[in-house]
Chains A and B, each alone.
Chain A
Amino acid sequence: MSVRLVNISKEFADPERAGGLMLAVRDMNLEIGEGEFVTLLGPSGCGKTTTLRMVAGFEIPTKGEIWISDEMVNDVPPNKRDTTMVFQSYAIFPHMSVEQNVGFGLELKGRPKAEIREETAKVMEVMGITELGKRRPDQLSGGQQQRVALARAVVNRPRVLLFDEPLSNLDAKLRETMRVEIRRIQQTFGITSIYVTHDQAEAMTVSDRIVVMEKGLVMQVGTPFEIYSRPNCRFVADFIGKVNVFPVTVTAMDGDIRVRDPRGMEIPAGSADAGVKTGGDALLMVRPESLRLGEAARESEGGGRAGGEAFGEGLVTKAVYLGSVIEYEIDAGYEKPLMAISHDPINGEFYKVGDRLPFSFSKKAAHVLPKR
């Protein structure tokens, strides 16, 4: 089922604020297609959970309309919306067994006992919790509770499946397993899903599209690739992973995109946001892992590679060995040191603090952001 949010805003009373109101969500518009998996991503307090709870019906928008399929659901109470949620705290009913928890939604719908048993068993099988059926919730581990919560939501075949930071209470390893699981289950049943998280890696793994939010506003909507490599503003670029950003002047926008950095060097860029104009001030962003270092960079000295590649040298000011990668900070004469990541250290070169390090980055890796 498709979900449409049309111009929705949500105000909360907040006596501590001037005017007594807190705007949690402002004029939000979003269309989610049938079977699509969309993630609302943003820092805490950005309005993502409020939006999710409005779709579930626990909050009513102050303005705007929420459509599920072709029904306007603003006045439909949560129990009649047919949207099921996986809660952050799991919200497993403590006085019911695992089976009873999973079957509860079907029981409420008045399905015959045999059908409930069959459906419950089927979903529990897919979730890998068949043998936990008779257990009580307090005998389950965090990961098992998570699976029960997911099974309980999925078994109803809801119109929309909602996830409220479902993995935030799990340890790092389990989180990685579960996000793949969630994606698999969603694909298996093909249920339209909205997922809320503040963890960008989680968002990248599970989503078809990501909605980045900040202070109640939608900043950008796009596929994980678009959000990561072609952000439309500094906030999104910063929020999704590490990034090098430095001020530039745009020198050309027709066909080739070229910018001039503060030291006067001309740099070719692969893409630019729509808000960027020739002659204006802008920001150039390059992800740390896109910097080529050492010998690999030397090859492109003088713009050697096809399409041109930016090249520079700097002093290593910090080198942190993390096992799978080495993280460097390089003073290349910009306001802030450049961050760089060198992969596969065991087959590559090591640099120490104080070493001179050549670096380069491709035109594709350079993206121009509006200066806001």
Chain B
Amino acid sequence: MTESRSSRAIGAFRRIARDPLLLIISIATLLSLIVFVAYPLLSVLIQSLKTDGGYSLATYIDVAKSAYLRKAFYNSLMMSALTALAGTLIGFAFAFAVTRANVPLKRLFNIIAVIPIVSPPFIGALAIIMLFGNNGLVTWNLLKINNFPIYGFNGLFLAQVVTFFPVAYMTMKGVLESMNPVLEDAALNLGGSRFKVFARVTLPLAVPGIASSILLLFVETLADFGNPLILAGSKFPVLSVQAYLQIVGMYDLPKGAAISVFLLVPSVIAFYLQRAMVRRKKYTTVTGKPQASSGKIVSPGARGALFAFCLAISLLVGLIYFSILLGSLAKVWGYDHHLTLDHYKFVFGVGFKAVRDTLMIAGIATPIAGLFGMVIAFLVVRTKVPGKKLIGTLSILSFAVPGTVIGIGYILAFNHKPLALTGTLSILLLNFVFRYIPVGIESGTAILQQIDPSIEEAAVDLGADARRTFSKITLPMIVPAFFSGLVFAFVRAMTAVSAAIFLVSSRWNLMTVHIMSQVESGNLGAAAAYSVLLVLIVGAAISLIRLILKARYGRFGGNMLHF
């Protein structure tokens, strides 16, 4: 058997040698993933083990001994778990209201629940400061409370739930839509009460989706950087911010690295748990075309309660965006609310370089990431190149790792020869490309699995090599999915902050990082103006791509964008 296996390996090798391009691409892909994904992470590990000239666990022991950092570890896990639970609950309620309960305004609720996904992830924190902070509209101007305790747990929890419940909503909506409502009707038909049907049919079928959503939110909240940097304050330390402060504030690289390892481990565990569940989900959720629910399983009372709940959350989200818009137009937030365009003059004047830089970096990095992701998806799904498993694992890894850890990894790995890149445009571009490759891979893999492999086999059979099969057959068929993935990657790139904050320099800066520093220096108006512009740019990009796809691929193309 070993003999036949080795002869098979030789056969596979010989065949690949006949198609050298495939081999070259897969080697190049693997090498670049090792250099720009694995090597930075390895650098973090090595740095965390460095102690005066040697290697030891001393830094870890240091971190573990510090009561403050222990508290940060506990806070991070606790906050992530609570946000995951609360966010999933709200997401489920929204999804259930929209797909099953047939509540009024369900289209509006759908839009409200999707907007935060396409916004900078710290917009909630910014708005909460503006509403409930020291100069907050509600706390200071309306209630005349000075120093309302918004910093710490309360504010951060609120901000993170608002930021991340939409992720749960998208997950739960998918699960509930793919669950055939006829099952619920059948249970009612058998004489079950509405509550029994919900408890015995709907909920059990949704459990894998709920669990997967909780894990997903846990990972995202744990990695969140923008909200805690603005809102956590010094009394409520969390890991991502502490790692940043150690490195940027104290220049203590080993400690920062060790803290980020504490952040990395639970993230990666939760991430792979979630992926394993999603893979199994295929068997547990009922697939099929989305079917309209008869809406009979929700009593009028429950429908009313759901509606009120969704309305309340929607009003909160609406209030957040409204206050950001208002803040960008108010002279001095909290003191002088006369309308002015001063903040926009600043953004389009002195501060416009950051806008240009951001657009350029996201504009260059996302197509590369998208194309690269598609190539990897093709390699992994459709070819038999050796090492494709490693390629798949490495490229997905940058999804699992919190941005803070990647950012630290990049400054550690690329601040010396042979790749001295700190402060350059390249380091930002590379970081963005390798961070958003998984977006391309995910959408590429999904669509490739829907395309009958014999279509590509037919091309090979007619004499096409790997390059021509990909460029003439595969690529044209996956273009809509490609753009859909591209938009998503673009949104993430425009709004990213956690890794980028380590990599910006005076020469190359980003809007998100600018917003953070404006908040830190108390200039809320400018921060709000940047945020409004950012949301507008992202919104315009999404609409543009959607229009192009619709014009070129008809209704089918327009539907590829799930925003």
Chain A residues proximal to chain B, CB less than 8 Å? 11, 21, 56, 58, 60, 62-63, 74-80, 82-85, 87-89, 91-95, 104-105, 108-109, 152-153, 156
Contact = CB atoms under 8 A, between A and B. Distances in A.
Nearest to A62: B4
B477 A94 contact: yes
A75 B14 contact: yes
Which of under 10, 10 to 19, 20 to 34, or 35 or more describes the interface residues of B?
Answer: 20 to 34
Interface of B: 1, 4, 7-8, 11-12, 14-15, 18-19, 452, 454-455, 457-465, 468, 472-473, 476-477
Given A74-B11, A87-B454, A89-B454, A109 B463 contact: yes
A108 B18 contact: no
Contacts of A62: 4, 7-8
B8 A60 contact: yes
A90 B248 CA distance: 60
Contacts of B15: 60, 75, 77
A337 B135 CA distance: 97
Given A75-B14, A77-B19, A91 B457 contact: yes
Contacts of A83: 461
A108 B463 contact: yes
A85 B477 CA distance: 21
A108 B468 CA distance: 8
Given A60-B11, A74-B11, A75-B14, A80 B463 contact: yes
Contacts of A75: 11, 14-15, 18
A78 B16 CA distance: 12
A16 to B, nearest CB: 16
Nearest to A164: B454
A95 B557 CA distance: 13
Interface residue SS majority, chain A: loop
Q: Which are the 10 A-B pairs with shortest beta-carbon distances?
A: A105-B462, A91-B458, A91-B454, A87-B454, A108-B463, A91-B455, A95-B476, A75-B14, A79-B460, A78-B460
Contacts of A11: 4
A139 to B, nearest CB: 13
Q: Which of A58, A80, A105, A108 has the most CB of B within 10 A?
A: A108
8 contacts: A58-B457, A79-B461, A91-B458, A93-B459, A104-B472, A109-B463, A152-B458, A156-B463
Contacts of A91: 452, 454-455, 457-458
Nearest to B456: A91
Contacts of A87: 454, 457-458
A76 to B, nearest CB: 7
A104 B459 contact: yes
Q: Which of B18, B452, B461, B464 has the most CB of A within 10 A?
A: B461
Contacts of B465: 77, 79
Given A60-B15, A89-B452, A91-B454, A21 B1 contact: yes
B462 A77 contact: no
A194 to B, nearest CB: 13
Given A108-B464, A152-B462, 13 more contacts: A56-B461, A58-B457, A79-B460, A79-B464, A84-B461, A85-B457, A85-B461, A92-B455, A93-B459, A93-B473, A95-B476, A153-B462, A156-B463
A108 B462 contact: yes
Contacts of B457: 56, 58, 78, 85, 87, 91
A208 B464 CA distance: 31
Given A93-B473, A95-B477, A63 B4 contact: yes
Q: Which of B454, B463, B476 has the most CB of A within 10 A?
A: B463
A104 B463 CA distance: 9
A245 B452 CA distance: 43
Contacts of A56: 457, 461
